[in-house]
Every structure is written in structure tokens, then in C-alpha cells.
Structure 1
Amino acid sequence: MSLTRVPGLLYGGDYNPEQWPPHVWREDARLMAEAGVNLVTLGVFSWARLEPAPGEYDLDWLAEIIDLLWEHGVAVDLATGTASPPPWFVRDHPRSLPVTADGTRLEFGSRQHYCPSSPEFRAAATALTTKMAQRFADHPALALWHVSNEYGDELQECFCEVSAADFRRWLRDRYRDLDAFNHAWGTDFWSQRYTSFDQVEPPRAAPGPINPTQQLDWRRFCSDAMLACYRSEKEVLDRLSPGVPVTTNFMSMLKALDYWEWARHEDLVSDDAYPDPADPKAHIGAALNYDLMRSLRGGQPWLLLEQAPSAVSWREVNVPKTPQQYRLWSIQTVARGADGVMHFQWRASQAGAEKFHSAMLPHGGTTARGWERTVRMGAELRSLAPVAGHRTTAQVAMLLDWDSWWALEIDQHPSALVLLKEQIRAWYEPLWEANITVDFVPVTADLSAYRAVLAPNLYLTDAATASKLRAFTDGGGTLVVGFFSGIVDRDDHIVPGGHPGALRDLLGLTVDEFWPLPAGERVALDQPGAYGTVWRDWIVPSGADVEIRYADGELAGRPAVTRHGNTWYLSTLPDPATLSGILRRALTAASVTPVGQATPGVELCRRGPYLFALNHTDATATVTSVGDRVDLLSGKKYSDHVDLGPLEVVCLSPEDS
């Protein structure tokens, strides 16, 4: 089943025709057809053109573009245009501009310059969305609606009085009464007890440390406030354009927004991904993010809505992709569940902040090297069309909870060096190297389909989550937990009885004291060459067996890694080889099997009956025991094994399929 009305895999990019005269539109449509483009994103930053004055809409030029594209076989992902309000709106409603924690009101001249709680902004955005839906809902070219753009990018919070009032409303809805609210925020500390919700303000700049639960609730509120903007537009589209899916483009593993909650309100998940060509391990981080996108709606295929054809324009040094990198990384997204490869952008801009950003059609036009790359990718995605709609299954789940993430990285903790994304990446990498497929799951997920569950960090763990994990291990599942987990409840209160609180009995130990390591320091472990970084615990076992001990320092001889039945606990971040060995032991005991066997550096992914093999090395590599298969990309037949050249990729279909 296709994500949209367009069959097969989607291919194209952002198109900004308002930057070009009409004769260029006609050339673009012709070249898109030549390149095999079947979908473009229109209108992302077009509000100033679509509504040049309050309540005066000009959609004719957009209709002309859509008609032209459709004549050339190109469908449309139509954006609502609401990501950046035009100058007239800002001057008519100056209070809609966002305010920072120190009281600075940010000015017009960039993008995402709005307060998410502003009623004027929400009304104007909804009105524009309504006009767009009324005009284009029945157009045959319409394949997808695209609300706003990259929520949480430049703008993640606003501290103005309008946001403060909205925050107070949100708190009233959450807590209902002041006693529950004061208990949750622990307001008897530092004389912070409130006698009215009207006394509450956002966590603006203050003389000293700010109430941690206030900060946690603020993060929850900010995610919800932006989600309310999205939902107000989606409700219009669902009503006026039923049957056309609605999305908004995520930004990979973004801290600011609870993507589990956001994904519940998307018809399909879409992502913008910009791995750095200068990073030799960028493809591993990309794989992690793509696994998250695939997981957000329970394995449903997702859409890569933006990637760079070559270099971006916003890093300190913007290294271009080689043609081999571009091909390999584009197909990697399909291997990990994407049903389309889209780009920013179609034609390179001549003006503006992104004029040095690469494009499918470079500044040099069809004589530029990049054009050959664009045409070739269109043809290869047509070859991969049978993959569309197929799903991936995993035996391993990794827990990711935004509440816990937000709470973990609030200040006044034993160490500011415990960062969730770094912990997740450290645990994910050895699984990638072993070609073990991973699903990300929320703490509310049904875990029964998995053989092993990994929790690199679960600082915030309520009783319900602890009970779920206990049931999983009692049922035979293997659980691996990282340090500083189980410490606080949903209100960021320490769980009584000693650390690790809600997980203490499950792990069979007590943490008597935290011994975090300073930046750059390491502690030796009692295995040859092994060491730990970031953190240490003073552990007192109460049923857990000691697998690895600390070998030097104040904790020499004390437990570092323990096992309690089929539950493991890591009280430090081991070096990569040691961490890989621990996870390998745990997953082997859980009967977790890899996708296949290949030379190190080869990524193996399975979607339905299709096996992708991607060689991320500069040497020839081998994939073994593939059976009798045909490569969809080349048509070449293989039996038993595949030899892959440097940066090469195959998509192997069973010969009889």
C-alpha cells in the first residue's frame, strides 16, 4: 500500500516557484519529468505570496503551478505555508513575535518568528489553511498535505505573557487543584508554595536554580503548544480534504518535541535528515534516526521529506557528498523503511540564507555534475518500486521516553555529562555493527513481540513502567538497563527507599552513592583493556551477580556490571569493545539473531522479502548465505554470496518473487 496516491517510491524535493519567473516554471516541469520526479513539496514558505494583505488571498499563481506539474506527471505535497508569517502580520500583531527567557522579543527577518500560543497567529494560520483546502482539496495532483515546517527548529519556546497565560491554563487542566499542583512541583522547597495558578510564570531567567518540575512541565507544555498549532490546521484539512494524508516534517531525534505524541496525530511520519559527509560514522547516526522514524507509527513506512543532494549551507564547513555517498545514503533510507526520497530543494536558490545549499538542479543547471546524480537516482528508485509498503520486524526494542529525556537533562544533577542521545548512540552502534534490527518504543508499548529490551537511560521511571518491565522479564525477556535509571517519578521526585528506586528489586541491587566521572576521565574495569567513562555507582548487590568489577580508584573491586536473572545493569559507560561484548552476551542469551552475516562495515536491512546490503567501507566486502536472489538495482543474479565494491549497495529479491 502506497503512502499516498502516487504508486511506488516517492521522489522529488521542495520546489519554490515564487523565486522564479513563469518561463522557469515550464522548464522545471519538463526537467522534473526527465529526472523521474513524481512528487514535489510546494508552498512551504509562501504565506507572503498566498496572503499579501490581511484576508486577501492570491492562490491563482499556485493553481497554475500545480496544473503545470500535473500535466508533466508530478504530484504535489502541498504545504499550508504557515511556518513563517509575513511582515504585515508581524506589524499588525507585534505581540505574536516570540520572547526569550531573558525577556528579549525576537524580530522579523528569519523564519518561525511566532509565539505558538498566540491566538492571532493560530487564527491566521488556520484561515490560510482553510483557503488552501477549499481551493485544492479536489485537485488530482494533491497527494499529501504538509502542515507548517520543521516544528521545533529555530523556535522551541516562547516566554511572553500570552505563553504564560497558556501555560497556566495547561497546568490547570493537568492538575485540576492547587494541592495536587503544589505537591507535584515540590513547592515547599525554597518557599515556592502557590496560592493561585495566576501566580505561576514560565521558567524565565532567575537569580539561581529554577524548580526542576517547573522546567519539566514547561518542556511538556512547549511540545503540546506547538502540537496544538499543528492539530488546528490538521483538523481543517481532515474536514475539508478527507482521504488525503497529512504530515509535518520531523527533525530526526529532536529533544524539543515528544514525537510519540506527535506521531499519533500524523497520517504518515516524515523526516528531514542531514548526515554530515565529513563524519566517517554519519551513516550509523542516520540509521538510528531512520529506525526511530519507522518506529513512531508501529513500523508503518515513512517518508524522507528532506535531505541534501550534496552540501548543506549551515555547518561551519559544508563538505559535499560524493556521488557514491549520495547514492548509498539515499538507498539507506529505503532500506530502513522509507517509501520515498525527497530533497531540499529542487532548484538552487539565487538569493537568501540557503543560496549555497545544494539542489537537485544545481546553479549550473543540467551541465552540472549534480544533474546526472539526480537523473540516476530517479531511475534507481523506479527499480526499487516493489519495495514500497513492505515492513521491517525487529527482535530488540530500545526504550525512548521524552519525559525522562527532559527530566534527565535538567540542571542540578550529579553530572551534566549524562546526555540521552549520546547514551542511545553508544548502545545503538554495536547493534548496527552486528546487523541487529532495533525498534524504538515508548514506555507504554506492548513489549511481548520482543526478545530483548534495552534502556540506555530511564532516569524517570514510574511504577507502571517498572511493573511492565518486570512482567517482560518474568515472561522470559532479556532487559539491559543503563546507569542513573529508575531515580525519579513522573513529577521528578526521588523514588523513596534508595536508588535505583522503581527498578531496585528488578535489578537486584541498591546504589548507595553516585560517583560520576569528570569529563575525559576513565576508570579501569577488570577485563583486559576495558574501561568505563561518564559515570560510576557504588553498588550493593541484593541478589544480582557481578559480571564486571571496577579495577582502580575508590570503587576498585566493587561491581560495575551486574546480572539479576535475565536483567543486566551497567553502572558506567564501557568502552565500545566492552559494551559490544556485554550486549552481545545479553542478546545471544535472548536468542536474538542478526539480519545476516557480512564483512564489518556492511549494513544489512530486511524489508519484507527484500534484503538490502550497503557497503559503507572503501574496500570490497562480502555478504554470505543470501540464497538465490536478484538485485533489483542491476538485475544481476546471485547465489549464496554477494561481493560488494566500495560504497556499493544491492537490494536482493528472492529469485521466485
Structure 2
Amino acid sequence: MTQSLNDVTRRLGGIAYGGDYNPEQWPKEVWHEDVRLMHEAGVNLVTVGVFSWSRIQPRPDVYDWSLHDEVMDLLHHNGIAVDLATPTAAPPPWFTRKHPDARPITASGTRLAHGSRQVFCPSSPAYAEAADALVGELATRYADHPALAMWHVHNEWGNHNALCYCDNSADAFRAWLQDRYKSLDVLNDSWGTDFWSQRYGDWEEIDPPRETTAFRNPGQELDYLRFSSDALLRRHLAETAVLRRISPGIPITTNVMGTLEKKVDGHAFAAECDLVSVDHYLPAADPHGHVDLALNADLARGMAAGRPWLLMEHSTSAVNWQPVNVAKQPGETRRNTLTHLARGADGLMFFQWRQSRAGAEKWHSAMLPHAGTEGRIWKDVSALGAELAHLSEVTGTRVHGDVAVLFDWHSWWALELQARPSDQFRYLDAVRDWYEALWSMNITCDVLSPSADLTPYRAVIVPNLYLLSDDDTDNITRYVQHGGHLAVGCFSGVVDDCDRVRLGGHPGALRDLLGLVVDEFLPLRSSDRARLEDGTDARQWVERIEPRGCTTIRRFADTADGGPARGGPAVTRHSFGRGTAWYAGGRLSPQSLQDLVREVCEQAHVTPVVVAPLGLEAVRRAGHRRSYLFLINHTQETVGVAVAGVGLAGAEVVDGQAVVPPGGVVVVREDLPAASV
């Protein structure tokens, strides 16, 4: 990568702040009011053109740049930079009418109609031709425009159309399989096609895993998820190539969706961007949504390899697409936004600038709401913009975690295919369990791919890697051999990257590393619990473990309420090489899991950012001879924290103590000796 977010923030003179700007929804007289209010709110960057294909290209052979020209010039003359989007996420009506076979088909054979966004098959040749032509014209028109600060490719790849089962997709899938497996013998072995007489004798016999009579082949389903993500990635690379050819030197990004999007491999997309951008929206039904926010921020930073990243979208208040769209409480928008900043974001953007009057997202909150400048949201947005201007010195600094949490879309896909031991055991539940244990102790972690370099970390957490490739197994094993501390969650390492069970005893790839064999997986009914001897419990899942060199740290109670693994190991520890590996043989309760994580961290000499009451979140950003401590209070009580430094936001530091009000955020520039930074 030759460009980065640092290039953008240097141009802006500080933190990027703004949102999606859709002037095509409004008459021209509103545009001048927009730029005036953008200045008032402290906006310095807006995303333009995300859904403007039908405006730019109203007919197949007609391009109309009048709106874009005027808006780009207006923004530039008012000192507002542009993140210019390729509007390929929403083909216009003429395209789907002219190319009806480009519309996606569901697994049950339904051809989807025009009328929403992302109504295209990722493998459609007609779509590829039209999209690439559009991107070429857009780049040629605006490559040298002074407002252009960065390119935004597409929008939320695969959010609505990741899986298409049409004939174009079938042809592309066969080509993908031939490239991956080279021969049918290898494919048949990888998919286990001798089960249920599925053995293939010709590539043309292979179709996408469409709806059928019973369970579909899991190897085929897993590969179709991989193929589908790769098909979207090919489109991303195609658009990126056009932009790089015509507009070299301008940073390129796309907004990946973290844990909000299961069907697209975020690690793969992030690796193909100059700077990493993410969208994040709070799950309204989750009372611990702030923990989900922190997890996704740490995942964004992990995808960015520790570099500053951009929050491309979040909301000022309610969204429009959840069953109950709960509005944010006073102070929550500030708290959410500054949490992203604390965890490494140097750009903080909203969807969208002006709340829509019509259309499917008119009830999605915005920076400028329906009520205009009289309501709370506008006052919050303007105050936040002013505060971010005062915090601009944090740009370029980084968050350094001593712990790595491993997160893998391929394992997520495989774990949640059909015919698993329990459909209640969900990947994100496992990740969030372990992450929240770290979060509750203010231990900073980086959320990484299993293939990442693990050597910088004092401890590595594997919440669940049901699927584990040989290469990733070797990576994890070397880490422990060379002195690392590893903790592994249940039902990990049991299948290879083709979803074939690793024989010789579970947990397969990790059996020797953990010094144990799992004799049997024992999923629990939703109402059941298995009590441990220390009074804590496990739910959903336990395992019958036979130690093969490991030490039992905690046991299930040797009574009836100990569950199906009664009396057996619940938590183990094993010395391996110069390191140590722990294993949790069940989905442990929060307290039990926190006890385990604390033990791992203590032995790995990992310390919290600060020691504070539960609910006071602490994160540190550091750079050359400067360090910034963010204190975020999620409780209803005032919390005092001992600090050494100067308060930049939220409160002053008095007598070595920062006072964080309920629901508040305090930022402290710390006094650090040069040698410690």
C-alpha cells in the first residue's frame, strides 16, 4: 500500500469527520444550506455518489455529469473534501431491464426483481462490463478534481447479494473449483462425495448447492461460500484496478462490515485496500452493545494491521432495519464515536448527512435530522465536531494490544452449516464471550486472522476455530512452542479446511498442543446447565475430556448437576515447548471465563490499561513521545481514575485524578518519559 489514512488526515488537518452526502435527493437550493451547516458542524469529509448510478448514466449510452460537477465544485470551494464512491452497488432500472439474467437467483430458484439495491449477480458478465465502464468514466472525469481525497469502491460488498445460484454463478463456480482442486479426484476426496453417492465424474455435473431434498454436502456449501466471497472480491479488484490505472496516488477503500456481515471474508477485502474502512451499527436488542462496538473496532484495527482506520458509517441515533429501532440516549452518540476513536479510528463518519425525506431509509437517523437544527441530534453532532477538532493531535497514534483474539470467517461459515452437533452453538457468541472477558478487565486486544504474525503478543485467545487449516495450526503451534500463552475455546480444531474431521481423537489439530483428547462432544439443551466444582457453570456445550499430559485446573461437579461430563475436566493447562496452552471444555459462564482469562493474562504478564470498576472502559493510544488515555463510563455512577496528565476532553485532571461522569468520556494526554513510548 502506497497511500494510507494518514495521507487523508494530513490533508484535512485532523480527524476526518462527516458522512454520506446524497444531494441528488434534494433540490439545488438545499445544497448551499448543506455546506453552510457542514461548516457549522465541523464536517471536513463527505462521501458522495454511493447510489447515483441512475443519475450519472440515465440511459445505456448517456452520461450526465452535471449534478456531480456542481456538487464537487461546491464542496471544494467550501473546503470540504470528497470520498468519491463508485456507484456500482445499485444498478439503474434500465440495466436490469436490458439484462434480466443479471438479476440474482435464490437457492430455491427465485429470480429477484429490481426495486432495491445490489440487484445483480456478482458473476454476471453484463454487470461486470457495465460497472467497469462506469468506473472508468467516473475516474476519468474526477481523477484530477481538487476535492477528491479518496476513492470509495462500491458499498458494503455482499450485504444483500453475496449468494447467487444462477447459471452464470454455476459456470463461475466450476471454474473456481477447477482452479482450486485441479482434478475431480481431489475434489471428490475433499468433499467426501462417496457419501450419499455424490461422486462427480465431470465438472459440468457440479452445480451450486441449491435447495434439495435433505442436507446439502457441507464441503460443497463451504466452498460455495468461499467462491461467493471471492466473486465479490474479484469485482472489488476489477474496480480498484481501473481506479489505480486512471487515478494513481489517490487512496482506495471500501466499507467492510465486520461481524455484521457473515458471508464476506473481511480479512480478504481489507488486504486489498489502501486504508481500512468499516461500518458499525449497534444491535439495539443487546444491552451490551457497547462491547460489540469495541469488538468491531478492534477487529477493524486488526484488519488494518494496527494502522489507523476509518469508521465509514455509524448512526447518530436509531437505524431503520432492526425489528425495533431503539433511539440512542443523550450522550450515547458522543460515547460511541469517541470509543471508535479510542480504538484506533482516525476518521468518524455517519450515514448520512441529511435525513432522507423519502425512500427505504427515511427513518434512519442522520447528522441533520428531519427536525433540522432545532433538535438534540443536531446539537450533539455540532458539539462532537468541535470536540474532535480539539482532539486532532491523536491522529496517527496507535493502539497496542498485548493479547490477540483470533477471528476467522471460514471457521464461522463451517461451524454454522447444517447438521452440526448443536445449532445453538454460534460462532459470534463464542467470540463475544471471550472478548467480553478481556473487555471487562480493560485488557486491550487485537482481533486478527489465524494466519497473522502472533510473535508480538504475550497471549493469544482462540474463542472458537472449529475449522483450522494446517498452515494456521502450524502458526499457532509455533507461537506456543516459542514461549507464548494460548487459551482455546471448546469445539476447536476438529475439522480441516475442507470440513473433514481430523481423525485420531478430538480436538484434532490441537490435540498434542493441548495435551488431551475429547472423547465425546456433549451439547446441552437450552434450559440445561453443567455446574463446575467452584460453583460456576457451563451452558449449551460441554465435552468429555481425557487428559494426555495436561493438568486439570477446574472440574465439573461430581454430582448430578455436573451434567453429562460430571467429575471430568472443565478447564485444563498444558506445558508445550517453552509455552503454555489452556483449554475450556465447554461454553463457560461469564464469571468462570473471566477467571480463566485473568489466570492466562497474569501468567503472560498482561496488565490492564487501568484498574477500574466494571463498566469503566479504558483504552490507550500512543505515538512518538505522546500517549492518550481514553476513559469511557458505561455506568450510572461517577468514576474517578488516577492519571498523570492533562485533560483534553470531558473533564480536567485535578490532583492526579480524572473524574468521569455517568455515561461520559474523558481523554487525557499522559505525561510519559521518552523511553516509555
TM-score when scaled to structure 2? 0.95
2:669 maps to 1:647:
no
* 1:7 CA drift (Å): 2.5
Q: Does 1:556 align with 2:566?
A: yes
The answer for the alignment partner of 2:647 in structure 1 is: 631
Checking the alignment, whether the CA contact within 8 Å between 1:2 and 1:8 is kept in structure 2 is no
The answer on 1:525 being equivalent to 2:532 is yes
SS at the partner of 1:543? coil
Structure 1 residues 71, 447: CA separation in 2 closer, same or farther (over 3 Å shift)?
A: same
Matched, 1:246 2:262: no
Q: How does 1:81-480 map to 2 (within 5 A)?
A: 81-253=87-259, 254-276=261-283, 279-480=286-487
Partner of residue 547 from structure 1, selected from 542, 547, 553 = 553
Q: How far off its partner does 1:277 sit?
A: 5.4
Aligned counterparts of 1:323 and 1:66: Cα–Cα separation in 2: 34
Contact 1:274 1:307 in 2 (8 A): yes
Secondary structure, counterpart of 1:515 in structure 2 = strand
CA deviation map 1:169-223 (0-9, x unaligned): 1001111111111111111111111111111000000001111100110010010
Aligned to 1:572: 586
**Structure 2: gaps of 5 or more residues:** none
Structure 1 partner of 2:22: 16
Contact kept? 1:394, 1:438, Cα under 8 Å: yes
Runs of 4+ in 1 over 6 A off after TM superposition: none
Deviates more, 1:435-444 or 1:101-110: 435-444
Alpha-carbon distance, 1:278 to partner = 5.9
Deviates more, 1:134-143 or 1:275-284: 275-284
Q: Which amino acid aligns with 1:165?
A: D
**Does 1:599 pair with 2:613?**
yes
- The answer on whether the counterparts of 2:653 and 2:659 sit within 8 Å (CA) in structure 1 is no
Question: Cα–Cα, structure 1 residues 15 and 506, in superposed 2: closer, same or farther, change >3 Å?
Answer: same
Distance 1:10 1:359 in 2: 17
Is this contact kept in 2: 1:3–1:301, CA < 8 A?
no
* Alpha-carbon contact 2:19-2:349 (below 8 Å) kept: yes
- Deviations 1:148-189 (CA, angstroms, capped at 9, x unpaired): 111121222100000000000100111111111111111111
Q: Per-residue deviation at 1:499? A: 1.0
Q: After TM superposition, give the deviation of residue 487 of structure 1 in Å.
A: 0.7
- CA distance in 2 between counterparts of 1:366 and 1:467 reads 57
* d(CA) in 2 for partners of 1:639, 1:189: 72
Q: Are the aligned partners of 1:348 and 1:357 in contact in 2 as well (CA < 8 Å)?
A: yes
RMSD over equivalenced CA pairs, Å: 1.4
Matched, 1:622 2:640: yes
8 A Cα contact 1:599 1:622, kept in partner: no
> Equivalents in 2 of 1:346, 1:140: separation in Å?
21
Give yes or no for contact 1:599–1:623 (8 Å, CA) kept in 2: no
Q: Which has the higher mean CA deviation after the structures are superposed, 177-186 or 446-455? A: 177-186
User: Given that residues 647 and 668 in structure 2 are in contact (C-alpha distance below 8 angstroms), is that contact kept between their aligned partners in structure 1?
Assistant: yes
| Alignment gaps of 5+ in structure 1 | none
Q: Distance in 2 between matches of 1:3 and 1:606?
A: 23
Query: Cα deviations across residues 325-377 of structure 1 (Å, max 9, x unaligned)?
Result: 11111111100111111111111111111111111111121222222112111
Task: State the match for 1:514 in structure 2.
Answer: 521
Contact map agreement 1:3 1:339 (CA 8 A) in 2: no
Give the distance between the partners of 1:638 and 1:246, measured in 2 at CA.
44
Q: What is the distance in 1 between the residues matched to 2:641 and 2:366?
A: 34
Contact 1:6–1:143 (CA under 8 A) maintained in structure 2: no
Length-normalised TM-score, structure 1: 0.97
SS of the aligned residue for 1:2 comes to helix
Q: How many aligned positions are there?
A: 654
User: Out of 41, 53, 59, which is 1:35 matched to?
Assistant: 41
Letter in 2 for 1:574: L
Give the secondary-structure state (helix, strand or coil) at the position aligned to 2:617: strand
The one-letter code sitting in structure 2 at the alignment partner of 1:557 is G
Contact 1:277–1:321 under 8 Å retained in 2: no
Q: Letter of the aligned partner of 1:541 in structure 2?
A: P
**1:462 & 1:78 partners in 2: Cα distance?**
38
Identity, % of aligned pairs? 50
Task: Return 197-206 or 484-493, whichever deviates more.
Answer: 484-493
CA distance in 2, matches of 1:6, 1:235: 26
SS at match of 2:523: coil
What secondary structure is seen at the aligned counterpart in 1 of 2:487?
strand
Equivalent pair of 1:560/1:570 in contact (CA under 8 Å): yes
CA distance in 2, matches of 1:494, 1:635: 56
Name the CA distance, whole Å, in 2 between partners of 1:555 and 1:370.
53
Residue identity matched to 1:232: A
> SS of the residue aligned with 2:564?
coil
Asked if the contact 2:257–2:266 (Cα under 8 Å) also holds between the matched residues in 1, the reply is no
Q: CA deviation at 1:638?
A: 4.1
Deviation (angstroms), 1:492: 1.1
Q: Give the partner amino acid of 1:274.
A: Y
8 Å contact from structure 1 (residues 107, 113) kept in 2: yes
Partner of 2:603: 589
How far apart, in 2, do the equivalents of 1:396 and 1:250 lie? 23
* Secondary structure of 1:520's aligned partner: coil
Amino acid at match of 2:587: L
Q: Deviations over 1:262-315 (max 9, x none)?
A: 111011111111114564311111000000001102111111111111111122
Secondary structure of the residue that 1:283 maps to in structure 2?
helix
Residue 640 of structure 1 deviates from its aligned partner by: 2.5
Q: SS of the counterpart of 2:620?
A: strand
Mark the CA change 1:500 to 1:34 in structure 2 (over 3 Å): closer, same or farther. same
Distance 2:614 2:407 in 1: 27
CA contact (8 A) 1:3 1:268 kept: no
Aligned residue identity for 1:643: V
| Cα distance in 1 between the residues matched to 2:341 and 2:469 | 36
**1:76 maps to which of 72, 82, 107:** 82
Query: How far apart, CA to CA, are the structure 2 residues paired with 1:172 and 1:496?
Result: 27
For residue 305 of structure 1, give the secondary structure of its aligned residue in structure 2. Answer: strand
Residues in 2 aligned to 1:346 and 1:455: alpha-carbon distance in whole angstroms: 39
SS in 2 for 1:323: coil
Q: Does the 8 Å CA contact 2:505/2:517 hold for their aligned counterparts?
A: yes
